[in-house]
Amino acid sequence: MTDLHRHAPLRVALVGLGTVGGGVIRLLNTNGDLIARRAGCPIQVTAISARDRSKDRGVDLSPYEWVDDMTTLAGRDDIDVVVELIGGADGPALTLARQCLTAGKPFVTANKAMLAHHGLALAGIAEKSGVALKYEAAVAGGIPVIKGMREGAAANEISRVYGILNGTCNYILTTMEKEGRGFDEVLREAQELGYAEADPSFDIDGVDAAHKLTILASLAFGTELDFAHVATTGIRHVIAADIAEAAALGFRIRLVGMAENGPDGLFQRVHPMLVPLDHPLAHVDGSLNAVVAEGNFVGRLFFQGRGAGEGPTASAVVADLIDVARDEYGDAFAMPTAALQPQHPADAGKRIGRSYLRFKVQDRPGVLAEIAAATRDAGVSIESMIQRGANQDDGVLVAIVTHAGEERCVHATLDRLAGSDSLLDTPMVMHILD
């Protein structure tokens, strides 16, 4: 473990100078004295590295040594800890992480994709070298959910962890909800405001949330990370009518990442869900994130706050640096990697719950009977069925809420209707949060 004298500065190399990297520098400059008192020593950025040396980042970089080859940082004795903010599951970020941890240098990252794919291997290297692998900024931005799960809830058996893990999707859904506008229009606005990337696929297709859920599931259940088996559906196909129907039924639509571990295996899913109005997730608006963990002694824990952006993410990075300065390391995933259990994926078809199904169908007699027959034959019990009038495409919308039953029956209903000329579009299925 790196020998840090209590009052000697913690010397930091910062790799990646985008929004978060600049935020880390600003935060250390603004709150430096307070941070030093809490850390027991000053925390100083010593070296910096990024792809473009000439880019104006809105912060004075002249006090810091510019390093063109970031791979040299792992072997430098004048660097105590490396912070990686360049992103990407593989490539330079992964190479840097391996080099630093192998060399016995603490490593701080906001890279949820890298951790979801390679976190187990990196944690093993950190253990062998006796150094910290810290990643509070990788999940839910400034919300201290990693520390809360790894430390505050460490004595509990967690039965379920779930939440709103992507601020872009939450902004789009809640804006559609409040203003009655369509998905494409709100997405364009989110891009103009900087809430969504020019290519928003990672966000709106649920991949970003799935990366974060993978990490939370490992922390919550003591299982190996298993991104490959996160069933992932984004919000591309949620329409304004879904939002309206959900509201009429007493729900709000949120993209929810959910993980449970039980006798049938590890269940992990990112999916738009109907959330009851009396559930706290229904009131998480805009770009906020929220995480719920249910422990057998502590009960329900609810974490909410800003899940992205310069300030919140920089705050999480610097909190990890304070831990490094204090020599507060701990195992990356709350226990030694050898204690993390492999787990097979649970069969989602056996899950019991209610579902919302939306069909766009031909405006002609017999269509409702066809849908009702398909649900009956699949073993689905209908709680309510709503038909809305014809739209500009000469179709009608039919929305169904089911009684509680096995999810496989819902999908069997869709299989029975597949290929029907009554359907004008692919049906939408959203499960209801119990």
pLDDT tens profile 252-289: 999 999 999 989 999 999 999 999 999 999 999 998 99
Which pLDDT score is estimated for 56? 79
The 3-state secondary structure of 99-166, one letter per residue: HHHHCCCCEEECCHHHHHHHHHHHHHHHHHHCCCEECHHHCCCCCCHHHHHHHHCCCCCEEEEEEECC
Whether the per-residue pLDDT at 28 is higher than 90: the answer is: yes
Please provide residue 116's backbone torsions phi and psi, each rounded to the nearest 5 degrees. -60, -35
- pLDDT higher than threshold 70 for residue 2: no
Task: Say whether 212 is catalytic.
Answer: yes
Position 57 scores a pLDDT of: 80
Residues ≥6 apart with Cβ < 8 Å to 14: 21, 24, 25, 45, 47, 48, 49, 64, 83, 85
Q: How far apart are CA 71 and CA 99, in angstroms?
A: 7
Structure tokens of 243?
């939002």
Amino acid 59: pLDDT: 86
Question: What does the pLDDT look like over 138-192, one tens digit per residue?
Answer: 999 889 999 999 999 999 999 999 999 999 999 999 999 999 999 999 999 989 8
Question: 338-347: per-residue pLDDT in tens?
Answer: 999 999 999 9
Q: Smallest Cα–Cα separation from 211: which of 347, 89, 85, 341?
A: 89
pLDDT tens-digit series, residues 377-390: 999 999 999 888 76
Question: Judging by beta carbons within 10 Å of its beta carbon (0-12, 13-18, 19+), is residue 399 exposed, middle or buried?
Answer: buried
Pair of tokens at residue 317: 């990075």
Residue 194: which pLDDT band, with cuts at 50, 70 and 90? confident
Would the pLDDT of 4 be above 80?
no
pLDDT higher than threshold 50 for residue 242: yes
Q: Are 209 and 136 in contact (CB under 8 A)?
A: no
Q: How far apart are CA 156 and CA 296, in angstroms?
A: 6
Instruction: Burial-class residue 204 by CB neighbours within 10 Å (0-12, 13-18, 19+).
Output: buried
Per the DSSP assignment, residues forming a β-bridge with 266 are 261, 345
Span 310-321, mean pLDDT?
94
Residue 142 has φ and ψ, to the nearest 5°, of: -85, -5
Mean pLDDT of 223-248: 95
Buried (b) or exposed (e) across 250-289, using 16+ Cβ within 10 A?
ebbbbbbbbbbbeeebbbbbbbbbbbeeeeebbebbebbb
Question: Residue 123 phi/psi, 5° resolution?
Answer: -65, -35
- Dist. CA 379–CA 97, nearest whole Å: 51
Give yes or no for a contact between 28 and 39, defined as CB atoms under 8 angstroms apart.
Answer: no
Q: Is the pLDDT of residue 316 over 90?
A: yes
Reported pTM: 0.93
Residues 6+ apart with CB under 8 A from 322: 35, 38, 39, 43
Predicted local distance difference test score (pLDDT) of residue 107: 98
pLDDT band of 1, cuts 50, 70, 90 = very low
With residue 368 as reference, give the H or E element that holds it. Answer: helix 367-378
Residues 6+ apart with CB under 8 A from 45: 12, 13, 14, 24, 25, 28, 63, 64
CA distance 17 to 23: 9
Phi, psi of 200 (to 5 degrees): -90, 10
How many helices (H) and strands (E) are present in the chain, helices listed first? 13, 18
Burial of 51 (0-12, 13-18, 19+ CB in 10 A): exposed
Q: Which of 403, 396, 430 is nearest to 414 (CA)?
A: 430
Long-range contacts of 273-276 (CB under 8 A, 24+ apart): 273/430, 273/431, 273/432, 273/433, 274/246, 274/249, 274/356, 274/430, 274/431, 274/432, 274/433, 275/251, 275/433, 276/250, 276/251, 276/432, 276/433
Catalytic residue among 178, 212, 350, 360: 212
Can you give the pLDDT at residue 141?
A: 86
Percentage with pLDDT > 70 across the chain: 97
Across residues 232-236, what is the average pLDDT? 97
Confidence band, pLDDT 50/70/90 cuts, at residue 197 = confident
The confidence score (pLDDT) of residue 391 equals: 58
Residue 6: its pLDDT value, please? 53
| Per-residue tokens: 129 | 């070298």
Mean confidence (pLDDT) of the chain: 93
What is the reported pLDDT for 393? 61
Q: Would you state the pLDDT for residue 339?
A: 97
Q: pLDDT by residue (tens digit) across 76-130? A: 999 999 999 999 999 999 999 999 999 999 999 999 999 999 999 999 999 999 9
Digit-coded pLDDT (tens) for 45-59? 999 999 888 787 888
For residues 246 and 404, the answer to whether their CB atoms sit within 8 Å is no
CA dihedral of 270, 234, 137, 69, whole degrees rounded to 10: 120
Averaged pLDDT, 348-352 = 94
